[in-house]
Copies of this chain bind each other. A is one copy, B any other.
Amino acid sequence: MSPTTDSPSRTLAAFLAGLRYQDIPPAVIARTEDLFLDWFASALAGKGARQIEIIERYAAAMGPKEGSATILTSRKSSSPYFAALVNGASSHLVEQDDVHNGSVFHPAAVVFPAALAAAQDLGKSGADLLVAAVAGYEAGIRIGEFMGRSHYRVFHTTGTVGTLAAAVAVGKLMDFDTGQFLHALGSAGTQAAGLWEFLRDAADSKQLHTGKAAADGLLAAYLTRDGFTGAQRILEGAQGMAAGMSSDADPAKLTDGLGSRWATAETSFKFHASCRHTHPAADALQVLMQREGLRHDQIAAVNTRVHQGAIDVLGPVVNPQTVHQAKFSMGTVLGLIAVHQQAGLTEFEQQALQDPRVAQFREKVKMTLDREVDGAYPARWLGRVEVETTDGRKFSAAVDVPKGDPDNTLSRPELEHKAAKLIAFSSAASDAEISNIIARAWRLHEERELSELF
């Protein structure tokens, strides 16, 4: 009833409304191009997967025959809603898209599908897309941090918070003012959904979560543009998101360092093709085995000392039955590292479920809650492993900054290599097209329009 009253939501909305390209440091713009390429390749890597083909068929049945936006995996056009839906679904399939540690949120998978579809529909430039993406990242990361750890215990933050991040990105492409951003947040937040329960059954919901977050966020922005109103305090209100889905929400997080802290550039790239919660331990095991010169069959037991979130998300996966589930199995990920020295897409497809040595190694791995690791999380994701060898020796290793984190990030050549591998994995583009995609990403800030993507 008090739309003019100050609130954390309003402060955030005012920041988003005022954000201009020239306000964003060049390094953040360049990092956003990095994130764009990493996302684009991740989305293409989902091509051909059963879940994605089902959603493509749904888009074909329910959407228009052609439209202003591109479905990346099929290279068909559709309306922006269905392009965001399919591209959002495929972005997260191979689990190689980016992640922001502090919010445990995968921004690219929801922000870019919505922003690219809307940018195509609205005839916007590469620079417009970059500003929109930064707006989506800055808002989504802060909202994820605001919702807190209690939210992530049950809810898939990328699905819930992702709906708002996507709405913000599209709203920025529509030049929303403060009031419109508040309405868009309201309409997005009241659609926010996504539960972790699917992990227990290796069900397909993760693709639904990212696809729907992108599409529903886009929907919220398009409705807002036409005058549809939303709650003014969907985040911190008495019957808002935090009230319903968090017990440790902190409104100060919503406005933390707006305009000075660039959360976009805090986003990590994934190095292993698995759930991010496995990465610190995977890096630490790799360091330990190299340092001590150990082979997998010399190891009798591995104790990974982890934060509670890792136990919540990975704990239910005891005996993985699918490749996707294997990516949420700490034992399988460490088994791939131990036996095959890497846990990339190819190893997951060809070895995670097939190689009996990986399954044997899996049985040797346990997770233990570590107070130090848990205390540092989610700001820092510490890797701590303890290994006992078959001949009774004991070792431990610690990695404080997993590969891909901002302080240990991927260079542009590393990102190009990763992107090329991702796209080649699903045969979604030719080598020449891959080169072109990479070249366009690096000059995204200069691109006048985005209709022809390949």
State which of B82, B154, B234 has its C-beta within 8 Å of the C-beta of A62: B82
Q: Which residues of chain A (168-203) have a CB below 8 Å from chain B?
A: 183, 186-187, 189-203
Complex CA distance for A57 and B241, rounded to whole angstroms? 28
When C-beta atoms are compared, the residue in chain B nearest to A80 turns out to be B62
Complex CA distance for A316 and B319, rounded to whole angstroms? 49
Q: A54-B228, A227-B54 are in contact. Are A197 and B193 (CB under 8 A)?
A: no
The answer, yes or no, to whether A244 is at the interface (CB within 8 Å) is yes
Which of the four size classes fits the interface of chain A? 35 or more
A50 / chain B contacts, CB cutoff of 8 Å: 227
A212 / chain B contacts, CB cutoff of 8 Å: 191, 216
A159 / chain B contacts, CB cutoff of 8 Å: 190
**Is A229 within 8 A of B203, CB to CB?**
yes
**Is A63 within 8 A of B64, CB to CB?**
yes
State which of B54, B209, B223 has its C-beta within 8 Å of the C-beta of A190: B209
A194 / chain B contacts, CB cutoff of 8 Å: 190-191
Q: Which residues of chain A (36-79) have a CB below 8 Å from chain B?
A: 50-51, 54-55, 57-58, 61-65, 79
The answer, yes or no, to whether A15 is at the interface (CB within 8 Å) is no
Complex CA distance for A63 and B192, rounded to whole angstroms? 22
Complex CA distance for A229 and B318, rounded to whole angstroms? 19
Q: Which residues of chain A (201-217) have a CB below 8 Å from chain B?
A: 201-205, 208-209, 212, 216
Complex CA distance for A229 and B197, rounded to whole angstroms? 12
25 contacts between A and B (CB under 8 A): A1-B321, A55-B228, A61-B79, A62-B79, A62-B219, A62-B222, A64-B64, A155-B244, A187-B204, A187-B208, A189-B195, A190-B194, A190-B197, A190-B198, A190-B205, A191-B212, A195-B244, A197-B237, A200-B231, A201-B231, A202-B229, A203-B232, A205-B230, A205-B231, A244-B245
Interface residues of A (CB under 8 A from B): 1, 3, 50-51, 54-55, 57-58, 61-65, 79-82, 153-155, 159, 183, 186-187, 189-205, 208-209, 212, 216, 219, 222-223, 226-234, 237-241, 243-245, 312, 316, 318-319, 321
